[in-house]
A and B are shown apart, each in its own frame.
Chain A
């Protein structure tokens, strides 16, 4: 088979689309061969689009809360939680499926908070149960607190408190029975209006204390979120939130 009868190699066509001339015999073949012409058109299209691409075309991640909103609207995970135990987790996700995400997850979080609180006091599994007198005299002043409830398709619960201590403002997080997975848990404060978030650090035990940066406006960052983060060196929220709750005074 002579060169003019062979189909043009893909990589030659690719370089041709970028402006390189083809070997003469190959050029004659491509001009007459519908298959090669089709291939070349594909490469030319890719290169043309590539040349209109700019650094501004990089993908932009959606809000890390968006998945929870989708999951909430669709009522995902109900089959998993319904009937597995008397734990009222199903109520967390069994919300009006038509609710849109602008308010959906916050309502879910607050409903879950109520339910989660019930678990904390009756379930016998939470850390706080071991201390029937949770307010010693020297306790730091509690500024606000939140019950943490599982996101759909996750398990676990917990509580969070913003406290004033001699050392400054801290967030105390207590969790129990969190969904396990690859990676580590990270604690975040989220502004529910702008979806901006502050990563406070890794939660390596069932309890953790996290200093709040000076100047952080706690009237804006009112949502406590514990996410599961892969060990990939990427500092951005994984969007895989496990439990969450809204702080209230």
Chain B
């Protein structure tokens, strides 16, 4: 499954900023001063394509951790992950004229660039390795496949969203996803009526899906 990359063209509520807003966005009139704070993911994407610098910074705030984590999993090294993430945002901004908000969510587009920058990273590592190997110091460079980049992105998004669930939904979903327990087993474990468990799971899944912008959501 590719939660992120297969995305509906419809503007939906998106993956939210990793930080809560330091103020109530409804309490004041939106002005340029906090445009970024009240912008939807879709409007960040539109402003990004229009070359508004605040949108790049906001994109970094919202998806920098995601991009970095995907890069970290692929490279296994925080410094390399920072380098990859920097290259992603730099090349995204320089290539923003190629981004069409109507065709992809900005995080999906950024993840596509991330895959390429990770590939660049491994290519350059392999080049270095060949030099080292030629000098007689062989060791392994193990690049990851493109699929695993998408899978990592999906899992990171889901884990992040799970962590945002309130209790008891969070505990229930962790038992269901991490421990693979059935609804009955969860109800037994938590001494909770089965219907209540199902209700929590149903609501949590709906929320997860709306956050993950899965394609094909019925209107």
Contact = CB atoms under 8 A, between A and B. Distances in A.
Given A49-B151, A76-B56, A101-B82, A11 B202 contact: yes
Nearest to B23: A182
Contacts of B18: 59, 61
Contacts of A11: 202, 205-206
Interface stretch (A40-48, A108-116, A123-131): A40-48
B68 A61 contact: yes
Contact of A53 (B21, B56, B93, B155): B155
23 contacts: A20-B198, A39-B218, A42-B215, A46-B158, A46-B214, A49-B155, A50-B158, A51-B176, A53-B155, A53-B178, A57-B155, A59-B66, A60-B65, A62-B82, A62-B85, A66-B82, A66-B86, A73-B86, A76-B53, A76-B56, A100-B83, A182-B34, A239-B61
Contacts of B215: 42
Nearest to A10: B218
A236 to B, nearest CB: 9
Contact of B163 (A19, A58, A61): A58
B107 interface: no
Nearest to A78: B53
A189 B174 CA distance: 37
Given A49-B154, A67-B60, A182 B3 contact: no
Interface of B: 1, 3, 18-23, 34, 53, 56-57, 60-61, 64-69, 72, 78-79, 81-83, 85-86, 89-90, 93-94, 151-152, 154-156, 158-160, 162-163, 173-174, 176-178, 180, 182-183, 198, 201-202, 205-206, 208-209, 212, 214-218
A61 B61 CA distance: 10
B37 to A, nearest CB: 8
A202 to B, nearest CB: 14
Interface string A160-188: 00000000000000000000001100000
B156 A70 contact: no
Contacts, number: 163
B86 A59 contact: no
A60 B86 CA distance: 15
Given A49-B158, A53-B159, 17 more contacts: A18-B205, A46-B214, A48-B1, A50-B177, A51-B180, A53-B162, A53-B178, A54-B159, A57-B152, A60-B81, A62-B67, A70-B86, A73-B86, A76-B57, A182-B23, A238-B19, A239-B64
Contacts of A39: 216, 218
A59 B177 contact: no
Given A14-B206, A39-B216, A230-B22, A63 B78 contact: yes
B165 to A, nearest CB: 12
Contacts of A76: 53, 56-57
Nearest to A97: B90
A7 interface: yes
Interface string A211-231: 000000000000000000011
A46 B212 contact: yes
A57 B81 CA distance: 15
B215 to A, nearest CB: 7
Contacts of B69: 59-60
B3 A49 contact: yes
Nearest to A8: B218
